[in-house]
Amino acid sequence: MTIVELAGGARLALPEEPVELKVGLRDALLEGQDWRDGLSDDICIGVWLWGEWQPTLEPAGITRDQFVDMVTDYRRELWLWLIGDRIWAQFISGLAGRVARRIPALVLDEPAAPPTDQ
């Protein structure tokens, strides 16, 4: 299992490819459904991933809607995975990196070093 480390030591485990979800989402999009508004929760990859990553992301200050927006904003890469031009590992690791860069600064348990007078 691949792990992506986030600021503050939190970790995202990269889940296995959801093949059935991929087929349902691809079919819905090919039928003309909207990336965000037309997708039911059972075929929305953002909602599915939120279920996987919520225990890590929520304490870091990311809400479900913010996360789904991040996934939707990554739709070009999502589409490339859906049509087979990207493998799951490329898509999910890229998304995890995108999420990691957008996480608000976490409060670390370590106290900050005092400034020095030099």
pLDDT one-digit tens code per residue, 81-103: 999 999 999 999 999 999 988 88
d(C-alpha 19, C-alpha 22), whole Å: 5
Confidence of residue 34 (pLDDT cuts 50, 70, 90): confident
**Burial grade of 67 (CB within 10 A; 0-12, 13-18, 19 or more):** buried
In this prediction, residue 4 carries a pLDDT of 80
pLDDT one-digit tens code per residue, 38-91: 555 666 888 899 999 999 999 888 999 899 889 888 989 999 999 999 999 999
Model pTM?
A: 0.78
d(C-alpha 49, C-alpha 33), whole Å: 20
Domain borders along the chain are: 13-102
Other CB atoms within a 10 A radius of the CB of residue 36 amount to 14
